[in-house]
Amino acid sequence: MSRFLRFASFRNSLAVRVISSTVLLSILILWPTGSALYNQLSRGISNVTLDSSVVETRYAVLNAQYRLLLAQRADVDVIHQIIEEVFINSSTVLGTSVNGREVILLLTNAESSAAASFEKTSNGILKTSIPSELRTRVQGSGAVEWARSWIQYPGGDLTPAVVAGAKLDIPGIGKFEMYMLYSLDNQNETLKIVREALLVTGLVLLLLLGLITWLVVRQVVHPVKTAAKIAEQFAAGDYNQRMYVESKDEISRLGISFNEMAESLQAQMGKFERLSQVQQRFVSDVSHELRTPLTTLRMAAEVIHDVKEDLDPNIERSSELLIAQLDRFERLLEDLLEVSRFDADVAVLESIQFDLASLLRESIKDLAPVAKKQEVEVILLGADKPVLITGDARRIERILRNLINNAIAHADSKPVKVSLLYSLEDVAIGVRDYGLGLDEASAPRVFDRFWRADPSRARTRGGTGLGLSIALEDARLHNGELQVWGRPAQGSHFILTLPRVAGDLISDYLIPVEPKDSPPTSL
Ligand code: ADP
C-alpha cells in the first residue's frame, strides 16, 4: 500500500494521469449504463406488478359478480355475507403481510334504500384512496381500469399503490364499483436492493479498473523511471551508467539506443580528456623548458644592461626594451605554470593565520610607485584594525595585487577606492575605480584566460591576460568568490569575498556587487 501511495503521490506523473483518466472515463461509461439497467429493471418489475394486478382484479370482480348473481333475490343479510366473504378473500389482514392488498366498494347508483350500507372499505382505509378520475373511467367502461395512487390508512399513513377497479352489479340493490389496491412497498423494496447492488458493483468495478490500470501503467512507468534515473546520473558525469536491457519491447529498444549513445559519448569524452591532458602537459613542459634559455638570456641581457652607459644610445635603448620584455616573458611563464597547476588539480592551499588588513596595507604600499607613475591616488577604507583570517597569504596577496594593479592601470588618473569589510564569518574587499570601466557584456569575460577588453592597449601595458583567471581560481580554492561590475566610463568594481577560515562556506556577501556611488541604471 505504501508503495502505491509513493507511486500515486508523484504529482503530475504519467501514472496518476492515466489512472485518473481511466477512472473518469469508466465513471462516464458506468453511470449511464447503470442508470439504463436500473430503469429497465424498474420498468419490468412495475409492468409485472401492473399486469398481475389487472388480472387479479378482473378475476376477483368476476367471482364476486358470479356469486352475487347466484344469490339473486336473496335476503339483504345474505348479500352482506357474500360481500363480507369477497372482502376477506381479496384483502390481507392488516399487519400480517408486507404486501398490503385492500378492497373498496363504492356505490354508483342506488336501486334500494339499503344500497348505501354496502359501501365498504377493507381495514378502514379511506375512500379518498380512489382518484375521482379513475372512478369516472370505471363508470364509463366495461373492463378493468387502473391508476397509480396511495393507500390512505386511517392513521394518516400513505403507501404507494396500484389501484384497479371495475363495475359490480348487486342485483336489486344498486350499481357499484369494486376497487382493489395493491401496495407497491414490496416492489420498491426490491428496487432499492437492485439500486444498492448496482452501486456496490459499480464501485467495486471502478476500484478493480483503477487497480488493473495501475498494474499495467507500472509495467511501463517503472522502466521509464529507471531509464530517467540512469540518464540523470549519466548527465551528472557518471559515464559508466548503462540501462539494463532484458527483452525486445519498445522500452528495451530505448535502452539499447541510450546505451549506444552513452558508449559513443564516453568514447568522445575519453578522447577530449586525453587531449586536454596532453595540452596541459604540453603547456607545463614548454613553460619549464623555456625557463633555462630564458635565464641565460636574462643573464646576457643584464651583462649588456650593466654596461649601457658605454654603449651607443640606440643599443642602450634596445637593452632596456629587452630587459622589459624578458620581465614580461618571465611573468607569462610563471602564470602559465600556475594555470597548468590549477588544470592538473595540484594547486594546494598553504593556510596560515594572518592579518588581512596589514596585508592589504602592504600590497598598496608596494604598488605605490606604479600608482604614482599613473598619477592615481589609492584610498584604503576599513583597514585600521587587524582582521585575522586563515588562508593562503601568498595567493590572497596575489589576488589583491592583481585587482589593485588593474584598477590603477584602468583608473584614468582618477582615485581608486579599496574597502575592507568583515563579519564574524566572512571578509570582503572591494576595489573600485572610476576610469575606463567595462561594458555589461565584457564584465563576466574578464575572468577568461587571455581575454582583454583592448588587446593592443594591454600588450603595451605588459599584462599577461591571465591575472584575473588565476585570481578567480585562487579565490575559489579558499571557497571564496570574485565578482565584477563595470560600466563604460563609470569605472569598475571588483569584490573578493572569502570565508574567515579557508574552506568554510561564505555565509554573507558583505559588499554588494553594484557600487552604491554609481548612478542608478536607467530603466
Ligand atoms: P591583464 O591585466 O594582464 O590583461 P587580467 O586577467 O588581469 O589580465 O585582466 C583581463 C582584462 O580585464 C584586462 O585586459 C582588461 O581589459 C580588463 N580589466 C581588468 N581590470 C579592469 C579594470 N579595473 N577596469 C577595466 N578593465 C579591466
Q: What's the rounded Cα separation, in Å, for the pair 365 and 404?
A: 11
Instruction: Judge if pTM exceeds 0.85.
Output: no
pLDDT at 162: 92
Residue nearest to atom 7 of ligand 1 (CA): 467
What is the residue-level pLDDT of the chain in tens, covering all 523 positions? 445 445 445 456 777 888 888 889 999 999 999 999 999 988 888 888 889 899 999 999 999 999 999 888 788 888 999 999 888 888 875 555 445 789 999 999 888 888 888 999 988 899 999 999 999 999 998 899 999 999 998 888 888 899 999 999 998 899 999 999 998 888 888 889 999 999 999 999 999 999 999 998 888 888 888 888 888 988 888 888 888 888 778 778 888 888 899 899 889 988 988 988 888 888 888 888 888 888 898 898 888 888 877 878 888 888 888 888 888 888 888 888 888 888 888 888 999 999 999 999 999 999 999 999 999 999 999 999 999 999 999 999 999 999 999 999 999 999 999 999 999 999 999 999 999 899 888 898 999 998 887 755 555 556 788 999 999 999 999 999 999 999 998 999 999 999 999 999 999 999 999 998 755 443 3
3-state secondary structure at position 90: helix
Running DSSP on this structure, what letter comes out for residue 419?
E
pLDDT at 319: 86
pLDDT at 458: 53
pLDDT at 520: 45
3-state secondary structure at position 522: coil
Residue in the structure block whose three cell numbers are 429497465: 40
Ligand 1 atom at minimal distance to the Cα of residue 452 = 14
Is 352-499 the same fold as 17-190?
A: no
DSSP class per residue in 241-262 = ------SSSHHHHHHHHHHHHH
Residue nearest to atom 11 of ligand 1 (CA): 452
For residue 429, which amino acid is it? I
313: left (phi over 0), alpha (psi -120 to 50) or beta: alpha
pLDDT at 25: 93
Pocket around ligand 1 at a 6 A CB cut-off: 402, 406-407, 410, 433, 436-438, 446, 451-454, 458, 463-469, 492
Q: Which of 3.40.50.2000, 3.30.565.10, 3.20.20.150, 3.10.20.340 is the CATH number of 352-499? A: 3.30.565.10
Residue nearest to atom 8 of ligand 1 (CA): 465
Q: Would you kindly state where each structural domain of the chain is located, as residue ranges?
A: 17-190, 251-343, 352-499
DSSP class per residue in 377-404 = -EEEES-SS--EEEE-HHHHHHHHHHHH
For residue 494, which amino acid is it? F
CATH, range 17-190: 3.30.450
Going from the Cα of 453 to the center of ligand 1, the distance in angstroms, rounded, reads 7
pLDDT at 74: 82
The kind and range of the H/E element at 410 are helix 393-410
Residue nearest to atom 25 of ligand 1 (CA): 437
pLDDT at 523: 36
Three cell numbers written together for 110: 342506488
Q: What's the rounded Cα separation, in Å, for the pair 331 and 287?
A: 11
Class of domain 251-343: mainly alpha
pLDDT at 181: 93
Residue nearest to atom 12 of ligand 1 (CA): 446
The kind and range of the H/E element at 178 are strand 174-183
Q: What's the rounded Cα separation, in Å, for the pair 387 and 422?
A: 8
8 Å CB contact between 31 and 42: no
Going from the Cα of 480 to the center of ligand 1, the distance in angstroms, rounded, reads 20
Q: How many CB atoms lie within 10 A of CB 129?
A: 20
pLDDT at 91: 80
Regarding beta strands 426-433 and 416-422, do their DSSP bridges make them parallel or antiparallel, or are they unpaired?
A: antiparallel
